[in-house]
Amino acid sequence: MGQIITLDAADGHALSAWEAGFADSPRALVVLQEIFGVNHHIRAVCDGFADAGYHVVAPALFDRAERGVELGYAPQDGQRGMQLRSAIAPDATLADILAAAGYLGRESVGVIGYCWGGALAWAAATQSTRFKAAIGWYGGGIAATRTAHPNCPVQLHFGALDDHIPLSDVEAIRAAQPGIELFIYDDAGHGFGCSERPSYEARATALAQERSLAFLQHHL
């Protein structure tokens, strides 16, 4: 269903992206990758949103460090992803996210991210005014900037069994941001929404997806 395209960021950087859906789809959405790149799973996520009526773009955020990165879910893949992430300045990553939003060509655009992308969705909501809705699934590090002001409605999803994001961090986010929607899934760990990971939890995924689609439909 999807295809690889090229985006141009404001600083002149050209990056690849996965596009799914059609320009005349009812809604537009930027999908932000895990620490594993725009791999098979993220492309499938994009295609799923396209089936739900979205024009979707997932920017290849590792392109500034290394092009064509698609990692699996072995421990060494996570380590490689962390290395690539650390090689890219946060401002540059935000520029690439905004390039994806610009490509969609609409005033009303949403953003959803997973793992690293979940934290980036929060950053996009607090560091730009481009998005009308932002959703983060198990985004690590959000607690460190929990007092930042979101410029659009935000919805966050966390697993109670997440071994990367302690519940104390999740509760700190909830206390600092009483106006956002925040959900905790009791039987879910980190990466619970990815069927290619051992931590996949089907019931939590279905409920989080249902809530995400309802949130986007309401705000876009």
Catalytic residues: 115, 162, 190
User: For residue 115, what is the DSSP state?
Assistant: T
Q: How are strands ordered across the β-sheet holding 110-114?
A: 3-8, 14-20, 54-59, 27-32, 110-114, 133-137, 154-159, 181-185
Cβ partners under 8 Å of residue 209, min gap 6? 193
Q: List helix spans (H) across the chain.
A: 40-51, 75-86, 90-104, 116-127, 167-176, 202-219
Q: Which amino acid is at 1?
A: M
Nearest alpha-carbon partner for 53 in 22, 77, 30: 22
